[in-house]
Amino acid sequence: MMLGVYTAASGMIAQSKKEDLLANNLANLNTPGFKAGGATQQAFSSILMERLGRNPTPIGAVGTGAILGQTHVDFSQGALQHTGQPLDFALEGTGFFAVQAPGGTEYTRAGDFTLNGNGGLVTQAGYPVLSVGGTPLVLGSGTVTVAGDGTISVNGSVVGQLQVDNFANVGALVMGADGYFKAGTNAGSPASATASATASVTGTKVLQGNLEVSNTNQLKETVDMLTVFRAYEADQKAILSQAQTLAWAAGQVGKV
Question: What are the φ and ψ backbone dihedral angles of 144, each rounded to 5 degrees?
Answer: -100, 130
pLDDT of the residue at 120: 95
Domain positions in the chain are: 2-75+216-255, 80-212
Q: The whole model's pTM is what?
A: 0.76
Q: Across residues 69-97, what is the average pLDDT? A: 92
Task: List, for residues 144-164, the tens digit of each pLDDT value.
Answer: 999 999 999 999 999 999 999
* CB distance 219 to 116 below 8 Å: no
Answer with the residue of higher pLDDT: 233 or 69.
233
Task: List, for residues 1-24, the tens digit of each pLDDT value.
Answer: 567 777 778 888 888 888 888 998
Positions of E strands within 89-133: 89-92, 96-101, 104-108, 114-115, 121-122
Answer with the residue of higher pLDDT: 69 or 56.
69
Tell me which range, 51-55, 56-60, 233-237, is most confidently predicted by mean pLDDT: 233-237
The per-residue b/e assignment along 100-127, b for 16 or more CB within 10 angstroms, e otherwise, is bbeeebbbbbbbbbebeeeebbbbeeeb
Q: Across residues 109-137, what is the average pLDDT? A: 95
Q: Is 209 left (phi over 0), alpha (psi -120 to 50) or beta?
A: left
pLDDT of the residue at 168: 87
Angle at 179 between CA 176 and CA 181, to 5 degrees: 60
Beta-bridge mates of residue 207? 90
